[in-house]
A and B are shown apart, each in its own frame.
Chain A
């Protein structure tokens, strides 16, 4: 009997390898959401008054708002008063360097394949590791500093670079933007801050790894990336959480600012716990991500591989303000079991000769529902704007759903907008063909899905592409049959 339980556990572990929990003492504020809690978070972070004031403004605005209900999602009522808005691993003093960080935390990130130690670090990738509400540490600080790049936790940025934070915070996603962005603005705890000075190409990939650990906690992080004129940066984001029966809320905000001729490439591999095969547990992922091509010839590219979360509500967008600026969105969203995803993008063309490209690949298996929702808006002054959208859905099995909701609004007659959409089922003939050549069913499905996602995977940095591919294979285990 014990052996059977162990075997079952092993299988589950395999499916969601990041599902473990780190037993570490946590410093947590009481559950609930009110002005006092916000003041407590701000105090814990030793924030300046202007920061607290901004949080409170956001909170007051949020109180006037309602949860959005336009998405193709069934969202159970979330009791926001039951959530702890701040949880941090207990540390006596703020560690000055990674050597002083609690070994338990380092071990956690080791296990997740994100070693922070000097000796084991990922070559060429600087990592900021966020555990519950705080950043644990950031690698390669010295090397980045030499290049003039600032890469640190959001809290540090508020302390050390207040002028930059004040200028740019909320300038892409104002706190009034939407319900979840307002909530995040009021209670955000940490996140990453990136600043690339003018005419600088960031010497390495930057990466943030988000980990939710504590129970009944929400994670509300903020990321702000600023690329000065002529700057270039590639940023990666990874996320996991322990397996729990309760749902947990994750409501992040990401703001990107690309100035003249700057390039930002933002890649995400999202693997939050998706819940079990009966739909119990899992992360509710409500995220606002937006990039602003603020000046001419700027370029922002979003690439996302979404396999996790019980519910995903996420539309990484580009505001193409500068003339000839370009936005791209490459997405693979996979849903299995009872997962629900409503994800897509918004491309807002404001400048002349702006271009955008959207490649979305939705894969649904089990009893899941997968929706693409995309807006392409061409403003009156956006002469010669171009958009190309390709939106493909792949169904595995007969109990899942795929939906496409494209919105196209063009106010300029010179605009060219193309939209292509396909929906296909993994064909019995494709599977049979692969099997007659010697591949077993699972390998065949993995291969067909990988082929389906190729256009998106090739946009990911090498290490992430390999990880993304492996992740899809694991997520699809048991999808056929």
Chain B
């Protein structure tokens, strides 16, 4: 699904990712942990194609396709989704309208037929229900005046509607209370169908308790320094990142 080899990414001329390797297979859920500033969000942005996140070396292949050659919207149409750590507000643009336009833009790019509003509303209502969100949010402007938790859940609703092949969730759990966290986890688990893959960026074990990741990676100073099963995240929870320095030394 996703093959990252020796990835170097620079932002404003400063190298943030310094030779990152990561392979995510179909249906797998990988957790990415690591201290602040280690490059987790940079990886998310680089995968989604943000301007200014320059790949200086290495490669990223998504289903065999070189991601660097695609515009952000082309990556989306190819099946890549990024749930933002800080979802962006778009004043005056109706949430449901935005999501439908996005879905149809992707479908159009893939040569598929556009979804009519009835079918669309049915899908989106189901997701809203799963995440126990207020349906009125659909009529509001995209993320405008949403609480922090509502914004994060709205990202999951978008993911559910857009049905990506690979979703990168950037700290979707931060700022959520325990009930909201469970709902988000349910939303993610509901989309695990054995084919769809996930990279879950998080600081906390909490979310992973509900998600049971296939692999856990620790990112430090732009590289993956440790990989393992769920036991790794437990160890991080108990000991912090201090042991990394020991193993690095």
Select one of A441, A443, A451 contacting B92, CB under 8 A.
Answer: A451
In the complex, what residue of chain A is closest to B143 when comparing beta carbons?
A433
Q: Which of A403-429 contact B (CB under 8 A)?
A: 427-429
Count A-B contacts at CB 8 Å: 79
B residues less than 8 Å from A432 (CB atoms): 48, 50-51, 72, 88
Cβ A438 vs Cβ B88 within 8 A = no
Interface flag for B87 (CB, 8 Å): yes
Cβ A447 vs Cβ B51 within 8 A = no
Known: A428-B51, A447-B101, A451-B141. A438 touches B106 (CB 8 A): yes
Interface flag for B162 (CB, 8 Å): yes
B residues less than 8 Å from A428 (CB atoms): 51
Interface flag for B91 (CB, 8 Å): yes
Q: Which of A118-137 contact B (CB under 8 A)?
A: none
Interface flag for A440 (CB, 8 Å): yes
Cβ A438 vs Cβ B91 within 8 A = no
How many chain A residues touch B (CB < 8 A): the figure is 23
Cβ B101 vs Cβ A443 within 8 A = yes
Cβ B102 vs Cβ A452 within 8 A = no
Select one of A433, A441, A452 contacting B91, CB under 8 A.
Answer: A452
Please, what's the 1-or-0 string for B38-68, where 1 marks a CB less than 8 Å from any CB in chain A?
A: 0000000000111100000000000000000
In the complex, what residue of chain B is closest to A455 when comparing beta carbons?
B92
B residues less than 8 Å from A471 (CB atoms): none
How many chain B residues touch A (CB < 8 A): the figure is 32
A352 to chain B, nearest CB (A): 35
Q: Which of A429, A443, A447 has the most CB of B within 10 A?
A: A447
In the complex, what residue of chain B is closest to A448 when comparing beta carbons?
B90
Cβ A440 vs Cβ B90 within 8 A = no
Interface flag for A437 (CB, 8 Å): yes
Cβ B102 vs Cβ A438 within 8 A = yes
B residues less than 8 Å from A437 (CB atoms): 76, 98-99, 102, 105-106, 158, 162
Cβ A451 vs Cβ B93 within 8 A = yes
Cβ B101 vs Cβ A439 within 8 A = yes
A residues less than 8 Å from B98 (CB atoms): 434, 437, 447
Interface flag for B84 (CB, 8 Å): yes
Please, what's the 1-or-0 string for B14-37, where 1 marks a CB less than 8 Å from any CB in chain A?
A: 000000000000000000000000
**CA of A429 to CA of B72, assembled, Å:** 12
Interface flag for B137 (CB, 8 Å): no
Interface flag for B199 (CB, 8 Å): no
Q: Which of B73, B89, B141 has the most CB of A within 10 A?
A: B73
**CA of A441 to CA of B76, assembled, Å:** 13
A residues less than 8 Å from B92 (CB atoms): 450-455
Known: A428-B51, A443-B101, A450-B92. A433 touches B84 (CB 8 A): yes
B residues less than 8 Å from A451 (CB atoms): 90-93, 141-142
Please, what's the 1-or-0 string for A437-481, where 1 marks a CB less than 8 Å from any CB in chain B?
A: 111110100011011111100000000000000000000000000
**CA of A436 to CA of B47, assembled, Å:** 10
**CA of A349 to CA of B96, assembled, Å:** 41
Cβ A433 vs Cβ B76 within 8 A = no
**CA of A433 to CA of B91, assembled, Å:** 13
State the majority secondary structure of interface residues on A: helix
**CA of A435 to CA of B89, assembled, Å:** 14
Cβ B88 vs Cβ A429 within 8 A = yes
A residues less than 8 Å from B158 (CB atoms): 437
A444 to chain B, nearest CB (A): 8
Interface flag for B71 (CB, 8 Å): yes
Cβ A435 vs Cβ B90 within 8 A = no
Cβ A430 vs Cβ B88 within 8 A = yes
**CA of A450 to CA of B94, assembled, Å:** 10
Interface flag for B128 (CB, 8 Å): no
Cβ A430 vs Cβ B102 within 8 A = no
A342 to chain B, nearest CB (A): 25
Select one of A433, A438, A439, A443 contacting B87, CB under 8 A.
Answer: A433
B residues less than 8 Å from A441 (CB atoms): 73
A115 to chain B, nearest CB (A): 30
Cβ A435 vs Cβ B93 within 8 A = no
**CA of A436 to CA of B93, assembled, Å:** 16
Interface flag for B244 (CB, 8 Å): no
Cβ B93 vs Cβ A450 within 8 A = yes
A residues less than 8 Å from B87 (CB atoms): 433
A residues less than 8 Å from B101 (CB atoms): 439, 443, 447
In the complex, what residue of chain A is closest to B158 when comparing beta carbons?
A437
Q: Which of A315-347 contact B (CB under 8 A)?
A: none
Cβ A440 vs Cβ B105 within 8 A = yes
Cβ A435 vs Cβ B73 within 8 A = yes
**CA of A388 to CA of B68, assembled, Å:** 49
Cβ A438 vs Cβ B162 within 8 A = yes
A351 to chain B, nearest CB (A): 33
Name 13 interchain pairs, CB-CB below 8 A, sorted by A: A429-B88, A432-B50, A435-B49, A435-B73, A437-B99, A438-B76, A438-B103, A439-B101, A440-B105, A448-B90, A451-B92, A452-B91, A453-B92
Residues of B within 8 A of A (CB): 48-51, 71-73, 75-77, 81-82, 84, 87-93, 98-99, 101-103, 105-106, 109, 141-142, 158, 162
Lowest 10 CB-CB distances: which A-B pairs, in order?
A451-B92, A451-B93, A438-B106, A437-B102, A454-B92, A435-B72, A433-B88, A438-B76, A438-B105, A438-B102
Residues of A within 8 A of B (CB): 427-430, 432-441, 443, 447-448, 450-455
